[in-house]
Amino acid sequence: MGEDRLDSPLPAAFNRVLQFGDASGIQSPVSFGGFGSLTRHLGRLSNGIYEAIDGDFLDSYSLSLLNPYMPNLSASWLFQRAMSAKKQSNVPPDFINELLDINFKSMQRLGDPVLRPFLQFGPLAKTLGLVMLTKPQILSSIFKQVDIPVLIDWSRHFFMLGYYTLLSTYMDPVIRSCLNGLPSKVKYEWKRHLEAWKYGSGLDYRL
C-alpha cells in the first residue's frame, strides 16, 4: 500500500485483458466502503465492457479507458499516508487520533452535504478549510508526517479533482449531445472520458 497506489486504477497493459475489482485498484480502501463502494462502478463497467466487446474495441488503449485516472481516488491516498504509522516520527503519539477527530468533527459540523459525498471537490475543500481554521496547529504535524513532496503531489490531484468537476458539470452536457453523430470507436472513447470525469470527480454520487 505504498506510493504505487497513487497509480491506481491500473490501466490495461495487454490486448483483451482487463483488471477488475481489487486487482485494478479501482476503489480506495481508505474510503471505508470496501465492496459496497466498489459497486458504484458496476453500472459504468458493465456498460463499458459490453460496448468494448460488441464493437471489438479490445486493444489495451480502449480497455484502459475503462480504468481511467480518477483524481478523487488519487487524492484519497494522502489520508492513507497521514494515518500510516512510521518507525521514526516527529509527530505526537496521538496525532492520528487527533487528525481523525478534527476531520470527522469538521464534516459533522458541515452536515450531510459534506459528510456523505466526502471525496468531491467542494466537500473536501470545505472540510480541509474548516480543519485549518479550527485547528491550524495541526498543520505542522501533517507536514512532518506526509512530507512536503507528497503534499505537492497531492495538490496536483486536488487541482485535477476541481478540473474534473468543471468538465463533468459544464462540458459533459455539450459533448453528450453530439455523441450520436460520431463514429462508433470515437463514440466509445468519448463515453469513457465522460465517465472518467463524472466518477473521477465523485459526481456519480448525488444526495
Residue entry with cell 470527480: 201
What lies within 8 Å, CB to CB, of 105 at 6+ separation is 134
Q: Nine-digit cell at 118?
A: 466526502
What lies within 8 Å, CB to CB, of 66 at 6+ separation is 12, 18, 45, 48, 49, 52, 192
Question: What whole-number distance in Å separates Cα of residue 57 and Cα of residue 37?
Answer: 27
Question: What whole-number distance in Å separates Cα of residue 60 and Cα of residue 82?
Answer: 34
How does residue 8 score in pLDDT terms, banded at 50, 70 and 90? low
Residue 28's pLDDT is: 59
Question: What whole-number distance in Å separates Cα of residue 200 and Cα of residue 82?
Answer: 22
pLDDT averaged over every residue in the chain: 86
Residue 35's pLDDT is: 66
pLDDT tens digits, one per residue of 125-158: 999 999 999 999 988 888 888 888 888 888 999 9
How does residue 2 score in pLDDT terms, banded at 50, 70 and 90? very low
Give the best-scoring range by mean pLDDT among 30-34, 40-44, 172-176: 172-176
Whether the per-residue pLDDT at 159 is higher than 50: the answer is yes
pLDDT tens digits, one per residue of 160-193: 999 999 999 999 999 999 999 999 999 999 999 9
Whether the per-residue pLDDT at 36 is higher than 70: the answer is no
What average pLDDT does the segment 83-108 reach?
Answer: 83
Residue 1's pLDDT is: 39
Q: Which candidate, 13, 44, 9, places its Cα nearest to that of 28?
A: 9
How does residue 7 score in pLDDT terms, banded at 50, 70 and 90? low
pTM of the model: 0.86
Q: Residue 168 has what DSSP assignment?
A: I
What average pLDDT does the segment 36-44 reach?
Answer: 80
Q: How many CB atoms lie within 10 A of CB 112?
A: 11
85 vs 100 pLDDT, higher one: 100
Give the best-scoring range by mean pLDDT among 1-15, 47-61, 89-103: 47-61
